[in-house]
Structure 1
Amino acid sequence: MDIRNLSFSYRHREKTINHINATIRPGAITTIIGPNGSGKSTLLSLLANRLTPVKGEVVVDGKTLSSYRAKELARHLAVVYQQNEAPNDITVKKLVTYGRFPYRKRFYHWKEEDELAVNEALEATKLENKAHLPLLSLSGGEQQRAWIALALAQKTNILLLDEPTTYLDLYHQLEVLELVRSLNRLKKTTIVMVLHDLNQAIQYSDELIVMQAGSIVKAGLPREVVTEEMVENIYGVRAVLRDDAEAGLVLLPVGI
């Protein structure tokens, strides 16, 4: 995925994304970080083709997003948004079957490969024993895993996640992030996600993109990107970095 000179603005407002250029490394977990209002979720929406840039382009598998038809693009990348909506009575498995929509054609009949894709997605997210339960009966973390299962059923090489741990307690945050990492390691899925927690971003990412005021101000390996100086300049927070034998690099805020 290549981002080329990308700019975006909402109607009658200044640009919220300013001339962004970046290459998302295939098979890596890339996390977009930055303070509130820096353009993280807007950038992810542009990568998902949910918003149309005023300038520039995003290239996926050699084609610009604008040249894809919706179903064709959905066979290349899947998206899990911060807030998702589904019918109140839908079961977990029924939700996951929606991931096969990109492969359906007129007069389409459910195939063995569709059933296999759905079952594999449920197994990967450890929801096979809850497949026939109502989605709303699940915990917040389980519901998020169900939406990720839907995305997995699409069988794409790229997965975009907009703040996948929002509204979850610490245990379920880590549960989702461990799932994301295992999917990346086992399936070599290219993952781009937005996170707020810097320590989680450090621990679960191969590369980081730091945004401020709609621009990328720093990008690279977590140890190269996250410095005490960066945290103070971008977030206005004084912090110290420590190396822990088990946790690795840890950021400790000490004041503002």
Structure 2
Amino acid sequence: MSKLKNKVAIVTGGGSGIGRAIAELFANEGAEVHILDLNAEVGQTVVDEIVARGGQAKVHACNVGVQEEVVAIVSAIGHVDILVNNAGIAHVGNLENCAATDFERVFNVNVKGAYNALYAVIPAMKKQGAGAILNLASIAAVVGIADRFAYSMSKGAIYAMSMSVARDYMKDNIRCNSISPARVHTPFVDGFIAKNYPGQEAEMFEKLSQSQPIGRMAKPAEIAKLALFLCSEDAAFITGNDYPIDGGFIKLNN
């Protein structure tokens, strides 16, 4: 398995959930993976497992919302072939339940964090004349999701930034795409259910699963496989696209 042999990949938020699955799969496919995560201890656990399997990985403690931190880390890494902007946080609430502090917190991680990583890697990719960028958007970017005002805002921005970067840097042989998952079974989902529905965990998990037309949540590994395709040479002719991976949610949830 060597779709990413000799490639250097950055995965933000690679310590858990979708980011972890992407980091592990990319390493299995031969990439040297650099995880940027606010929680370096969690990220190190992923790195240790990758290295134990013979892969190459390193964790960098990083607040993606602080541009200086991101730029310094990317500069130290040097050559970067792939960037996966995965780091993100959620907020539950409509406009009236979204305080300015909530809005700014989501914006700083989900939007500014992605911008900072793009800002850091584009010069290196231009210099080497190639690069693949993948941004994690969401079905919330194009479909109204109840009580997800700030989160939807952030993922709409991710979608728009992806298209803009794809257009502006096509001449530099830099590809940029986004993917839009529906609900994915990650530790965040389990934590959300446990916090908000104590004693009803199994019932709520089933309810959330059935909200997808396919009848279940996605697995992080399934998202990672699409990420691998879009960041590999198999997708060399693909740029400026968003790919829903949603169990039929957008088209079939009538």
- Bin the TM-score by the shorter chain: 0.3 to 0.5
Report which of the two has the higher share of strand.
1
| TM-score (normalised: structure 1) | 0.33
Greater relative contact order (CA < 8 Å, ≥ 6 in sequence): 1
Question: Bigger radius of gyration, 1 or 2?
Answer: 1
Which structure: greater helix fraction? Answer: 2
